[in-house]
A and B are shown apart, each in its own frame.
Chain A
């Protein structure tokens, strides 16, 4: 689970802001304070790491709701010499398999990336004497100073375990050079020890001298380069002597096109390793030593790859619901539009309601419950069938008709012999019901359309016929009810909703985050009612007065953030709650009037 986010130099945020993430994280602040920037940074990270496009304007996840405007726009202060700082910390408890193996015993892993333009040497015009023309001319000269003008992308990647930095890499050409790596960290030392025990034991059996594995690995660091096809590296390669020399000549920048094959080394690189061996090592010892080094490098490579996998996996869980929910057409079954707004605009919610019986049941409960919306409406499915497809069914049904199905007592009413007996059913309702059942169970293609039933008059209406508040809140309810173990980011869930119901949304979020679904919710809101309900549930948890079915809420489950301007940038303040749902920190500008009423309700 995501436990912390760090955002710096992004939109309203200047210096990096630490943002704790809990199962329910509520983000408050005045308009234009920058509170959306927190969620937008996640949207950007997902988009950029998936596609490699760091100059994004619109994203698949954000749809029309998020227009980042490209790097020049989203970098803080429009200063393209800066880098966006973005980091996540994750609890490793849910990791399994390869990820668990890669991160050892650490309980948290953090990955921090800096996104910006790669530095290139500054070119300036300097005077020079042209001996042919016999005059001073200005010629371009690359100075020692760098300017940010190169390729846009991840410039550095820092990986920390339990808040201790383990590995830092920075972009050089096509790869990432390892700036620092803590080979003594628990992530590596245990695994290296296993390698050492196996390989060096074999080498020692030859009774020759054995080198210090960590020292040899340490010497290899300048040759290490992490590479991969995506925005983040996923394997480790070593530079040969020639490449290292070339890189050195290029002022520390690795050349484009450097060898990027995963770690299985060319003979030239093996030679470089062997140069570190002490004299007198037996051939068998050398063999085991080379294998040991290779295996250790593979462990480092796995660690780097696992970090990228972990980041992408976490961001794949992101579900974003923007502040402007689309208002679907009257018959949305006929106009599916799976564009970028499908999720961000909430359009997908209507599809979920059509296809997921449980979610539809839960939403109906919310719509009609006396303590909730109290609307007279119930969402239901209506099956639509093309009339041309009914011909066979009707023919078959008619062919099954026998005189037993018809009334015969009407024959005496004929006025002339030419008149044909009217086909009057003995039990018309039963026949109609049978026909409907036949159509329903037939294999004829049907389209499920979503309808709302006004239960007062049992008439069918469309969401277009009811208040807009319902259509705006339905995507919120569906997202909360239909998601499991996901990272849900919602802007303004309370849109168009009556204040009393905004409080009830608090219960929906509690259920979604702390009930069986175990979602992580990041909610940007202006609604004090929402927060007050959560505070009340904390108080009730503490006094053991929770209503039946409501999950317990403790201070560890909720994080309240307040975004406010400070100078030319925005800052994020965390406001802590105690077990009784009372704020330990002062609410900027004073707490809401409603808080008082809710507390004594």
Chain B
């Protein structure tokens, strides 16, 4: 649902642009499509796009510059230009160096595609199925298969882990929203999977923030005070905190009378929002149900994010606790 691409700097080069009007169409369509449900690797600690924006884009026509920059800003706003660590001792000095960095990252966690110009592709010694030539990229299967915005999956740990790995690989903040989320294994299993896969990008691990939004009255076991429920969350989360290094916040809500009720379920991150109407519970593999996840538009992501911010929420926050 969220696919990572590597775009080589030669795509933004004026020499490629001079090959005809198709360059503009393909480049903008690639950027537009990726801004919907993709990520772009920013190699060498974000030096790649510093290089592209500072060195390559200024040589493009003013009209194309503006369009390209506006798409890059959208991607940046959505945290979709994802930083990869420095892997070279010096600075990359050629497009071949950047391609080598792409291969290094691809070997750790495969990209959906590495898009590059024909010249750079011809110059590469390495054969790699992920390499896609720029002008043919929109016709490539690697591109068309990446446009899916929904996913049907089993409600099993294996299926969840596989789906969440790509969604959470570069996420820095995650909000799991399900009124029924509680410390029982059926729900907590999903929390543990999220904690485990979040920030696992192949390089040094990212440590982020995981928010759990649940309804106070759905906490288990019945009869405990909210403070006790939060303490139970603390106990369950402690091993995840030490194992994965993320920071957790648990929010217990209740619906206000005559207001919107806590009902919908989401996986919200700083990069995307996924509607999970079937809930976030995770069945055992022997009795799996199936469910559908759908990627939401950015407007919906922002709206839902606001709904679970205590200052702007239509729900009443009963209590919140942070771990650690």
Per-residue CB contact flags for chain B residues 212-223 toward chain A (1 = under 8 Å, else 0) read 000000000000
Within 8 A of A (CB), among B268-324: 270, 301-302, 305-306, 309, 311-312
Question: A596–B72 contact, CB under 8 A?
Answer: yes
Contacts of B270 in A (CB 8 A): 582-586
Q: For residue A596, which residue of chain B has the nearest CB?
A: B73
Given contacts A543-B45, A593-B73, contact A578 B208 (CB under 8 A): yes
Given contacts A571-B312, A584-B173, A585-B173, contact A600 B79 (CB under 8 A): no
Question: A585–B309 contact, CB under 8 A?
Answer: yes
Bound-state CA distance A600–B69 (Å) is: 11
Per-residue CB contact flags for chain A residues 554-585 toward chain B (1 = under 8 Å, else 0) read 00000000001010000111001010101111
B50 interfacial contact with A, CB 8 Å: yes
Per-residue CB contact flags for chain B residues 36-69 toward chain A (1 = under 8 Å, else 0) read 0000000001100110011000000000000001
B106 interfacial contact with A, CB 8 Å: no
A448 interfacial contact with B, CB 8 Å: no
Bound-state CA distance A591–B76 (Å) is: 10
- List 4 tightest A-B contacts by C-beta distance, closest first: A571-B311, A584-B173, A596-B73, A573-B311
Q: For residue B42, which residue of chain A has the nearest CB?
A: A600
Question: A17–B311 contact, CB under 8 A?
Answer: yes
B172 interfacial contact with A, CB 8 Å: yes
A-B contact pairs, 28 of them (CB 8 A): A543-B45, A564-B312, A573-B309, A573-B311, A573-B312, A578-B172, A578-B173, A578-B208, A582-B270, A583-B270, A584-B208, A584-B209, A584-B270, A585-B173, A585-B309, A586-B302, A586-B305, A586-B306, A590-B77, A593-B73, A595-B76, A596-B77, A599-B46, A599-B76, A600-B46, A600-B50, A600-B54, A601-B50
Contacts of B305 in A (CB 8 A): 585-586
Question: B77–A600 contact, CB under 8 A?
Answer: no
B83 interfacial contact with A, CB 8 Å: yes
The smallest beta-carbon distance between B312 and chain A, in angstroms, is: 6
The smallest beta-carbon distance between B255 and chain A, in angstroms, is: 17
Contacts of B172 in A (CB 8 A): 578, 582, 584
Number of inter-chain CB pairs below 8 Å: 54
Contacts of A566 in B (CB 8 A): 311-312
The smallest beta-carbon distance between A70 and chain B, in angstroms, is: 28
Q: For residue B206, which residue of chain A has the nearest CB?
A: A578
The smallest beta-carbon distance between B220 and chain A, in angstroms, is: 26
The smallest beta-carbon distance between A381 and chain B, in angstroms, is: 45
Contacts of B69 in A (CB 8 A): 596
Q: For residue A545, which residue of chain B has the nearest CB?
A: B45
> How many chain-A residues does the 8 Å CB contact rule pick out?
23
Question: B53–A600 contact, CB under 8 A?
Answer: yes
Contacts of A583 in B (CB 8 A): 270
Contacts of A578 in B (CB 8 A): 172-173, 208-209
Given contacts A566-B311, A576-B209, A582-B172, contact A591 B77 (CB under 8 A): yes
Give the one of A586, A591, A601 with max B CB within 10 A: A586
Q: For residue B312, which residue of chain A has the nearest CB?
A: A566
Contacts of A573 in B (CB 8 A): 309, 311-312
Question: A572–B311 contact, CB under 8 A?
Answer: yes
Bound-state CA distance A591–B305 (Å) is: 15
Contacts of A582 in B (CB 8 A): 79, 172, 270
Contacts of B76 in A (CB 8 A): 595-596, 599
Q: For residue B209, which residue of chain A has the nearest CB?
A: A584
Residues of chain B whose beta carbon lies under 8 Å from any beta carbon of chain A:
45-46, 49-50, 53-54, 69, 72-73, 76-77, 79, 83, 172-173, 208-209, 270, 301-302, 305-306, 309, 311-312
Q: For residue B45, which residue of chain A has the nearest CB?
A: A543
Bound-state CA distance A583–B305 (Å) is: 13
Bound-state CA distance A584–B246 (Å) is: 13
Q: For residue B171, which residue of chain A has the nearest CB?
A: A584
Within 8 A of B (CB), among A511-544: 543
Contacts of B309 in A (CB 8 A): 573, 585
Bound-state CA distance A578–B209 (Å) is: 9
Bound-state CA distance A573–B270 (Å) is: 16
Contacts of B73 in A (CB 8 A): 593, 596
The smallest beta-carbon distance between A493 and chain B, in angstroms, is: 25
Bound-state CA distance A543–B79 (Å) is: 18
Bound-state CA distance A533–B79 (Å) is: 18
Bound-state CA distance A571–B310 (Å) is: 9
- A585-B309, A600-B53 known; 8 new pairs, CB 8 Å cut-off, are A543-B45, A571-B312, A580-B83, A583-B270, A584-B208, A590-B77, A595-B76, A596-B76
Contacts of B72 in A (CB 8 A): 596
Q: For residue A563, which residue of chain B has the nearest CB?
A: B311
The smallest beta-carbon distance between B172 and chain A, in angstroms, is: 5
The smallest beta-carbon distance between B72 and chain A, in angstroms, is: 7
Bound-state CA distance A572–B311 (Å) is: 6
Bound-state CA distance A17–B317 (Å) is: 13
Contacts of A591 in B (CB 8 A): 77
The smallest beta-carbon distance between A244 and chain B, in angstroms, is: 35
Contacts of B46 in A (CB 8 A): 599-600
A564, A576, A586, A600: the one within 8 Å of B49 (CB) = A600
Bound-state CA distance A530–B309 (Å) is: 25
Q: For residue B173, which residue of chain A has the nearest CB?
A: A584
Contacts of B209 in A (CB 8 A): 576, 578, 584
The smallest beta-carbon distance between A592 and chain B, in angstroms, is: 10
Bound-state CA distance A582–B83 (Å) is: 11
Bound-state CA distance A17–B302 (Å) is: 22
Contacts of A580 in B (CB 8 A): 83
Contacts of A584 in B (CB 8 A): 172-173, 208-209, 270
Bound-state CA distance A590–B50 (Å) is: 21
The smallest beta-carbon distance between A453 and chain B, in angstroms, is: 38
Bound-state CA distance A571–B301 (Å) is: 21
The smallest beta-carbon distance between A366 and chain B, in angstroms, is: 27
Contacts of B306 in A (CB 8 A): 586
Contacts of B79 in A (CB 8 A): 582
Q: For residue A579, which residue of chain B has the nearest CB?
A: B207
The smallest beta-carbon distance between B208 and chain A, in angstroms, is: 7
Bound-state CA distance A591–B309 (Å) is: 18
Contacts of A17 in B (CB 8 A): 311
Contacts of A571 in B (CB 8 A): 311-312
Give the one of A584, A590, A601 with max B CB within 10 A: A584
Bound-state CA distance A576–B305 (Å) is: 13
Bound-state CA distance A196–B247 (Å) is: 43
Contacts of A593 in B (CB 8 A): 73
Bound-state CA distance A491–B203 (Å) is: 43
Bound-state CA distance A587–B121 (Å) is: 40
Give the one of A543, A578, A580 with max B CB within 10 A: A578
Bound-state CA distance A585–B69 (Å) is: 23
Bound-state CA distance A543–B42 (Å) is: 15
The smallest beta-carbon distance between A430 and chain B, in angstroms, is: 58
Per-residue CB contact flags for chain A residues 483-514 toward chain B (1 = under 8 Å, else 0) read 00000000000000000000000000000000
Within 8 A of B (CB), among A69-92: none
The smallest beta-carbon distance between B98 and chain A, in angstroms, is: 16
Bound-state CA distance A593–B69 (Å) is: 10
Q: For residue A562, which residue of chain B has the nearest CB?
A: B311
Q: For residue B53, which residue of chain A has the nearest CB?
A: A600
Bound-state CA distance A578–B46 (Å) is: 16
